[in-house]
Each structure stands twice: as structure tokens, then as C-alpha cells.
Amino acid sequence: MINSASSALIKDFEKCKLKAYRCPAGVWTIGWGTTAEAGVGIKPIYGMVITQDQADHYFNLTIEKFLSEMRSFIKKPINDNELGAFVSLAYNIGTPRFNSSSALRFFNAGDKARAADAILLWNKAEGKVSAGLVRRRAAERALFLTPIGFAVHEDEQESRATPDAPKGTPMESTTMQAGFIQIASAGGAGVSAVSSLTGTAQIVALVFCGIVALAALWIMRERLRKWANGDQ
């Protein structure tokens, strides 16, 4: 599986809906953004309702399936945050598109900086820049660039320390990582507001983004305070 920061990022953008709905592209979707195309044993249709446990089950199945499909295409050592950012991207655009993406190509060439920037290119829905996708891509890029202190091959994931192992630094805390993701999301939204909105709508969007960023900073400050007091 992916780490908790990566899982939280995907769920934050997908949201969970227990009743089937049509996504902006017109595809029937349910749970944590699960579609029939995911191939995990469910085909959302009009009127379908599932439980929260089922939604979580299909989410986990989809993540495992995508990891399996991506594994052979990742040729370089990859750390948990890089992998999680790539899985989030694939969860949104599909593994075939990810496997042929410039983000993966740059990563396999050893150019992580260009790989991170290439994530941002996937910001359009039906040919138009989407504010939601701008925010998501910014958050994925931020996660990709967040260091965790070591890198491993995907097939070595099971041999590393478990998520409950003591953290060596505050930056290894998933709470801190989630805070950075929130700030990145707010930054992405700010960019979207400036570029796609005007007048009062632009001001309202920027104020909202500022509130989100301030809330994330407060959470990070509290986490650092607790860390200093020995609560890891």
C-alpha cells in the first residue's frame, strides 16, 4: 500500500460518495472515485448505493491494482512520497496514461525535478484547465518533492520500517506532510483564482485559500510544539 500522507491526499480530492453519480466527464462513479474502468469488481450505475466499508474496500483494491500495473514501469529507486504522488496521479488519469507520461519518463531518466514539474501538466478536463485539477496537481507535486530520508525500490517496500515506527524528524510525521499538502492545495487554488476568475469571485477565492493555508500552518505549529514535548 501507499503511505498515509498519499492516501489522505487522494481521498481529500476524490471525496467519498456512497451513492453513484456522474463525474464531470460523465462517467458513473461511486465511493472514493471508483469507476468500472478501475476493474476492481464494481460497475457503478444509476441508483447504486454502497456502504462506507465497501467504499474503503474498493479504494484499497484500486490502489493495489494500480501499484501492480505501475511497478514494471518504474525503473529507478523511488521513495514513499514519490510513489504516492505518482499513484494519486494514476488514480486520476488511469495507469495507461501515467505509464506513457512525461512525468514517468523524466523520473526513469533520473531527472526528478522535471518529473515533478511534469505532474502539473495534467490539469485539464475536456480540454479546459480545471481549478480542481490545478490544486490536485500542485498537491501531488508538493508530496513528490517532500523528502522522507531514504529511497527504496517498489519491490522493497515491505522490508522497510512500518508506519508506526518512531519518527526521526518532524518532517517524517504524516501530520506535517499532510499540512504541506494542504498548503500546496491552497497555493494551487490561488494560482487558479488569479488565472481563471475575475473581480469579486477572484477576491473571495483568494481569501478562502488564505484561510486554508493559515489553518494548515496552525496545525503544523501545534505538531511541532507536541514534537518538542516528546509527543511523536
Q: Can you give 144-192 as a three-state secondary structure string?
A: HHCCCCCCECHHHHHHCCCCCCCCCCHHHCHHHHHHHHHHHHHHHHHHH
- Higher-confidence residue: 75 or 155? 75
In the numeric block, which cell numbers belong to residue 57? 474496500
Strand-by-strand arrangement of the 34-35 sheet:
17-22, 28-31, 34-35
pLDDT tens digit sequence for 34-72: 999 999 999 999 999 999 999 999 999 999 999 999 999
Residue ranges and CATH numbers for the domains of the chain are 4-228 (1.10.530.40)
CA 92, CA 83: separation in Å to the nearest integer?
14
Cβ atoms 27, 51 nearer than 8 A: no
Residue 28 carries which DSSP code?
E
Query: Which run of H or of E encompasses 125?
Result: strand 124-125
Measuring CA to CA, how many Å separate 134 from each of 185, 192, 222? 8, 7, 28
Give residue 208's region: left, alpha or beta (phi > 0; psi -120 to 50).
alpha
CA 150, CA 65: separation in Å to the nearest integer?
25
CA 173 to chain centre: 17
| Stretch among 23-27, 155-159, 202-206 having the lowest mean pLDDT | 155-159
- Higher-confidence residue: 147 or 218? 147
* Cβ within 8 Å of residue 23, ≥6 positions away: 29, 33, 35
In the numeric block, which cell numbers belong to residue 166? 518512531
CA 185, CA 88: separation in Å to the nearest integer?
14
What is the reported pLDDT for 110? 97
pTM given for the model: 0.65
What is the reported pLDDT for 25? 79
Average pLDDT over residues 201-226: 60
- From the list 60, 77, 69, 231, the residue with the least C-alpha distance to 148 is 77
CA 127, CA 66: separation in Å to the nearest integer?
25
- The pLDDT-based confidence of 24 (bands split at 50, 70, 90) is confident
Q: What percentage of the chain has pLDDT greater than the value 90?
A: 58
Q: Name the residues annotated as catalytic.
A: 14, 23
Q: What share of the chain is helix, strand, coil (3-state, %, to 5)?
A: 60, 10, 30
What average pLDDT is seen over the chain?
80
